[in-house]
Structure 1
Amino acid sequence: MTTQPKKKHSAALGFIFITLFIDVLGLGIIIPVMPKLLETLGNVDVSTATQYNGYLTFTYASMQFIFSPVLGNLSDRYGRRPILLSSLLGFGIDYLFMAFAPTIGWLFVGRAIAGFTGASNSTATAYIADVSTGKNRAANFGLVGAASGLGFILGIGMGAYLGDINVKLPFMAAAGFALLNALYGYFVLPESLQPRNRRRFEWKKSNPISSLRSLGRYPALKGLIGAFSLVYIAQKSVEYVMSFYLIEKFNWTLRSIGALGIFIGVVLVAIQGGLIRLTIPKFGQEKNITAGLLFYALGLTLIAFASQGWMMYVYMIPYCLGGISGPALQGLITGTVSPKEQGELQGSLTSLTSMAVIIGPLLMSSIFHLFTHRNSSTYFPGAPYILGAVLMLISAFLAIRSFKKVKEAANAVSPVGINDQVR
Structure 2
Amino acid sequence: MNRSLCAILATITLDAAGIGLTLPIIPSLLRDVGHTGDLGWRFGAFLSLYALMQFIASPLLGMLSDRFGRRPVLLASLAGAAIDYLFMAFAPTLALLFLGRAIAGATAANMAVASAYITDITPDSQRARRFGQLSACFGLGFIAGPVLGGTLGDIWVRAPFIAAAVLNGINLVVTFLVLKESRTPGIAEGERPSLNPLAPLRWALTFPALLPLLGAYVILGFIGEIAGTIWVLYGEDRFGWDTVTIGISLAGFGVFHALAQAFLVGPIAERYGARRALVVGIGADTLAYVLIALATQGWMAFMLLPLFCLGGLGGPAMQSLLTARVSADHQGRLQGVLASMTSLASIFGPLLISSLYFASRAQVPGLVWLVGAALYLVCLPLLLAASRSQPGMTA
- Higher mean alpha-carbon deviation, 300-309 vs 219-228, is at 300-309
* TM score, norm. by length of structure 1: 0.82
State the Cα deviation string for residues 90-149 of structure 1 (Å, max 9, x = none): 232343355445554444223201221122111111111111112222222222221232
CA contact (8 A) 2:50 2:101 kept: yes
Deviation at 1:41, TM superposition (A): 5.1
Q: Which moved more, 1:265-274 or 1:146-155?
A: 146-155
Distance in 1, matches of 2:169 and 2:290, equals 40
Partners of 1:76 and 1:201 within 8 A in 2 = no
Per the TM alignment, residue 244 of structure 1 is displaced from its structure 2 partner at its CA by 4.0
Q: Is the 8 A contact 2:59 2:340 kept in 1?
A: yes
Q: Could you list the runs of 5+ residues in structure 2 that have no partner in the other structure?
A: none
State the distance in 1 between where 2:367 and 2:22 align: 23
Q: Distance in 1 between matches of 2:263 and 2:69?
A: 30
- 1:127 and 2:117 equivalent? yes
* Deviation readout 1:320-372 (Å, 9 max, x if unpaired): 11111111111110011111111111122222122112211222232233346
Structure 1 position 227, deviation (Å): 0.9
The sequence identity of aligned pairs, in percent, is 40
* Structure 2 residue corresponding to 1:138, chosen from 128, 133, 157: 128
Secondary structure, aligned partner of 2:180: coil
How far the C-alpha of 1:237 sits from its partner, in A, is: 2.0
When structure 1 is superposed on structure 2, of 192-201 and 68-77 the one drifting more is: 192-201
Number of corresponding residues: 394
Equivalent position of 2:3 in the other structure:
11
How far is the alpha carbon of 1:151 from its aligned partner? 2.2
What's 1:93 paired with?
Answer: 83
Distance in structure 2 (CA, Å) of the matches to 1:102 and 1:326 = 40
Once the two structures are superposed, the pairs formed by residues 341-420 of structure 1 within 5 Å of their partners are 341-371=330-360, 378-405=362-389, 408-410=390-392
3-state secondary structure, aligned to 1:114? helix
Matches of 2:234 and 2:26, distance apart in 1: 15
Q: Is the CA contact 1:32–1:243 (under 8 Å) kept in the aligned structure 2?
A: no
Quote the Cα distance in structure 2 between the aligned partners of 1:164 and 1:248: 28
SS of aligned partner of 1:394: helix
Q: Distance in 1 between matches of 2:248 and 2:94?
A: 27
CA contact (8 A) 2:207 2:394 kept: no
Q: In structure 2, what is the equivalent of residue 152 of structure 1?
A: 142
Contact 1:144 1:327 in 2 (8 A): no
- 1:265 matched to 2:254? The reply is yes
Q: Could you list the runs of 5+ residues in structure 1 that have no partner in the other structure? A: 1-6, 373-377, 415-423
Q: Distance in 2 between matches of 1:166 and 1:381?
A: 39
Partners of 2:166 and 2:82 lie apart in 1 by 7
Does 2:170 align with 1:180? yes
1:21 equivalenced with 2:13 (yes/no): yes
User: Which of 199, 213, 236 in structure 1 is aligned with 2:225?
Assistant: 236
Q: What amino acid does structure 1 have at the position aligned with 2:115?
A: T
Provide the rounded CA distance (Å) in 1 between the counterparts of 2:9 and 2:165: 17
Aligned to 1:53: 43
1:75 to 65, 85, 88: 65
Change (3 A) 1:166 1:262: farther
1:215 paired residue among 200, 204, 208: 204
Distance 1:32 1:371 in 2: 28
- Would you say 1:62 and 2:46 are equivalent positions? no
How does the TM-score come out when normalised to structure 2?
0.88
Kept after mapping to 2: 8 A contact 1:74/1:201: no
Report the aligned-residue RMSD: 2.9
Indicate the SS of the match to 1:409: coil
1:191 CA drift (Å): 0.5
Q: What letter corresponds to residue 215 of structure 1 in structure 2? A: A
* Distance (whole Å) between structure 2 residues aligned to residue 382 and residue 163 of structure 1: 35
Closer/same/farther in 2, CA of residues 60 and 12 from structure 1, 3 Å limit: same
CA contact (8 A) 2:66 2:185 kept: no
